[in-house]
Amino acid sequence: MVKINEKILDFNLDAFYQEQIKKIKLSDYKGKWLILFFYPADFTFVCPTELEELAENYNEIKKLG
């Protein structure tokens, strides 16, 4: 498990960004703030609560840069 302030290896993944699925690399965001949000599966207890909370705070997070 990765801990706060622990460095991790670069990785590639598919991300939903600006209404599209695109390939990104962790290194694309070097020197920038990045939120990675993972959840176990759709229709689990995590899906509605944490995703809704993240969506509700999106504009505030975006203002932080």
Question: Where are the chain's structural domains?
Answer: 30-65
pLDDT score, position 22: 93
Q: Which long-range contacts (CB under 8 A, 24 or more apart) does 62-65 make?
A: 64/33, 65/33
Residue 47 designated active-site: yes
Q: Name the active-site residue from 13, 47, 51, 61.
A: 47
One pLDDT digit (tens) per residue for the chain, 65 residues: 888 889 889 999 898 888 999 999 999 999 988 887 777 777 777 667 777 888 899 899 889 87
Nearest of 41, 31, 32, 37 to residue 13 by alpha carbon: 37
pLDDT score, position 21: 94
Q: Using alpha carbons, list the distances in angstroms from residue 54 to 9, 28, 46, 50, 59.
A: 25, 22, 12, 6, 10
Element (H, E) at 21: strand 20-25
